[in-house]
Amino acid sequence: MEWPEYYQISETTEQEVVDQSHLLDLEQHGIVQCGISKCHEDFTIFRRNPAKHMLLFTCEGFGWLETPDKRWRLEPDSVIFVPAGYANGLGIEGEYWKIAWLFLTPHPQWQDLIGEQISHSTTRCASILYNSIQCLVQSLSLPFPIGNQIGSSIVEQINLMISHRMPSSAPPAQQRLDSVFQTAHRQLHKDWKVSDLATLYPCSEPHFHRLCQKYFGHSPMAHLTRLRMEHASRLMTTTDWPIQHISEAIGYPNPANFSTRFKKWSNMTPREFKKRFSL
């Protein structure tokens, strides 16, 4: 059966695209097009003989990519490199898929990066690349010359990220665990429970405990406490916030409770620590 040419994207999917017609710097770096997508419901594309190399980064949710011979499941913090000429199809798995992608010219400059076969690996750059492309889109709305200057700088950053694959050396389970605590770190003021963290993974509470013991050497709440104390110490040394405000910002409405926890962690009270290390 001949490989199809097919393109079906739902109206609920959101996309932003930048190509060489928007910014000359893309052409200078051999980038034909880049973009970001928040895919919902239906998102399916099949190409019979693509003329460009494709880099597809998964930030959130799940997707798939297949060729006539193989199928890959695309998980968060992963990237798949598809050389030009490879018939392929890709699409969403589930209800949501957040991706960043680039098409590169099939010139020798990319040969060492792309290779001759499709390759799939973990990456540390998926979310950073997504945010960079989003900033690049926004820079196009700025007046000349500041918009072009900012855009040129962002293209340099994008080129640097894709020119160095930077795979994550951590096992996939630890990467997912790190992602859970990165989410918690953005909301340290929240009254987190182990059940909340396990849901983000997702897994059962006992299994989440075992994962934390394996990769961190302590319990989930002990790791969260460590994150809170480290963040509090940075706030005390870089801001003039009152101790009570810092206590509330990291999830301790009771300053006395925070003081007890902090002294156990640092062997100093918050006030002693602030006096000694404050800039």
pLDDT in tens, 82-139: 999 999 999 999 999 999 999 999 988 888 889 899 999 888 889 999 999 999 999 9
Residues 123 and 51 grouped into a single domain: yes
What is the pLDDT, as a whole number, of residue 169?
57
Does residue 39 sit within a domain?
yes
Query: Is residue 1 situated within a structural domain?
Result: no
Query: Are residues 14 and 141 located together in one domain of the fold?
Result: yes
Instruction: Please indicate, yes or no, whether residues 244 and 176 belong to a single structural domain of this protein.
Output: yes
Burial (CB count within 10 angstroms: exposed 0-12, middle 13-18, buried 19+), residue 7: exposed
- Indicate whether 238 belongs to any domain: yes
125 with 143, same domain: the answer is: yes
HEC profile of 144-189: CCHHHHHHHHHHHHHHHHHHCCCCCCCCHHHHHHHHHHHHHHCCCC
Distances (CA, A) of 24 to 5, 148, 160: 30, 9, 17
CATH of the domain at 237: 1.10.10.60
Domain assignment present for 77: yes
pLDDT score at 166: 56
The model carries a pTM of: 0.69
48 and 127 fall within a common domain? yes
| Domain membership flag for residue 254 | yes
Ranges of residues in the chain whose predicted pLDDT is under 70: 1, 165-170, 279
The DSSP code for 43 is E
Domain that holds residue 227: 172-277
Contacts of 36 (CB under 8 A, 6+ apart): 15, 16, 98, 99, 100, 101, 130, 133, 134, 137
CATH number at residue 158: 2.60.120.280
